[in-house]
Amino acid sequence: MLTNHFFKTLLCSVFLVSMGCVAFAQDQIEHLWYNQEKTAKVQIYKATDGKFYGKIVWLKEPLRDGKPKVDDKNPNTSLRSQPLMGLVLLRGFVKDGTTGYEDGTIYDPKNGKTYSCKIKFNGNSLDVRGYIGISLIGRTANWTLVD
């Protein structure tokens, strides 16, 4: 009886420890990043679909006329009253090799457009390249890790 209880306890302990390790396993881009202008902080996270997303969690100037800034350039008029805080602007990235992330999109709330995007991890910075069609026609922004 004591042995059976011991093995159940041991098994539960091993399970809990292994679950804890899985829960804390974090990919290299799953952090808080400043955009290039340092006007926003974007939290990049891995969703349950296994892809990476990024949402605005801080704005240097969160208010306009005393009210929270909204996504007023969104082509979908029903989304123009959506606050910028919490807005998901990076969507659907998959890891490509050791430092690359591809097949995602980036939304630019300054003009309401969505672009194809790829990300390259460079330690304390990310090269975030938005483009139309092929990646040669686009722009790269350098995002930095928030300390």
24-33, 51-60, 92-101, 112-121: least confident range: 24-33
Pairwise CA distance, residues 50 & 53, whole Å: 10
Q: What span, in angstroms and rounded, lies between the C-alpha atoms of 124 and 103?
A: 22
Confidence check: pLDDT of 132 > 50: yes
Domains of the chain: 27-145 (2.40.128.520)
User: In the prediction, which pLDDT does 3 show?
Assistant: 54
Does residue 15 register a pLDDT over 90?
no
Q: Does residue 25 sit in helix, strand or coil? A: coil
d(C-alpha 115, C-alpha 106), whole Å = 5
Task: Give the model's confidence band at 4: pLDDT under 50 very low, under 70 low, under 90 confident, else very high.
Answer: low
pLDDT higher than threshold 80 for residue 22: no
- What pLDDT is attached to residue 47? 98
pLDDT tier at 12, thresholds 50, 70, 90:
very low
Name the average pLDDT for the chain.
Answer: 88
Query: Does residue 19 carry a pLDDT above 90?
Result: no
What percentage of the chain carries pLDDT values higher than 70? 84
pLDDT, residue 50, reads: 97
Give the residue-averaged pLDDT of 84-102.
97
* CB contact at 8 A, 53 and 88: yes
Q: One-letter amino acid identity for 52?
A: F
**CB 110 within 8 Å of CB 73:** yes
